[in-house]
Amino acid sequence: MAKRVTDKTSSPERRSPCPVACALDVFGDRWTLLVIRDLVLGKTRFKDFAASPEGIPTNVLSERLSRLLAHGIVSQVSASEGSKHLAYRLTEKGRALLPILGAMRDWGLAWERGTRAHLGEAATIG
């Protein structure tokens, strides 16, 4: 007899139909949006994300990248012609996160002292 804990068939572990809650289920943690930020800044490789100043642990990076792949937020392409290494790129769904990143950058700059944008002032993001 199968023990039904929750119906994860229709929508795997969605807490509510709220779009904010749903978004947080995808990227509601301390690292995911930093990977997105790096992608926006032009980084494409595992080692590049790992080299960011915040120092994401590689196991966390690995898990986050596969989650983003699973959610269709990033895709993998060949790093360069003939290369067997892979590069990560934002999909359209991933690029649609730009306004969120822009709003967060603006809030941080306005309210948290000592912050500086490596993201281009207004053009790149937001």
Binding site for DNA (CB under 7 A): 29-31, 45-48, 55-60, 62-63, 65-66, 79, 82-87
Q: Can residue 109 be called a binding residue for a copy of itself (CB under 8 A)?
A: yes
H helices present in the chain, as ranges? 19-27, 32-40, 46-50, 58-70, 92-95, 98-111
Candidates 21, 70, 77, 122: give the one binding a copy of itself (CB under 8 A).
21
Q: Which does 14 bind (CB under 5 to 8 A by kind): DNA, a copy of itself, none?
A: a copy of itself
Q: What are phi and psi of 121, to 5 degrees?
A: -45, -65
Q: How far apart, in Å, are the Cα atoms of 63 and each of 35, 44, 56, 66? A: 12, 16, 11, 5
Interface positions with a copy of itself (CB under 8 A): 10-11, 14-26, 28-31, 33-34, 37, 52-55, 93, 96-97, 99-112, 114-119
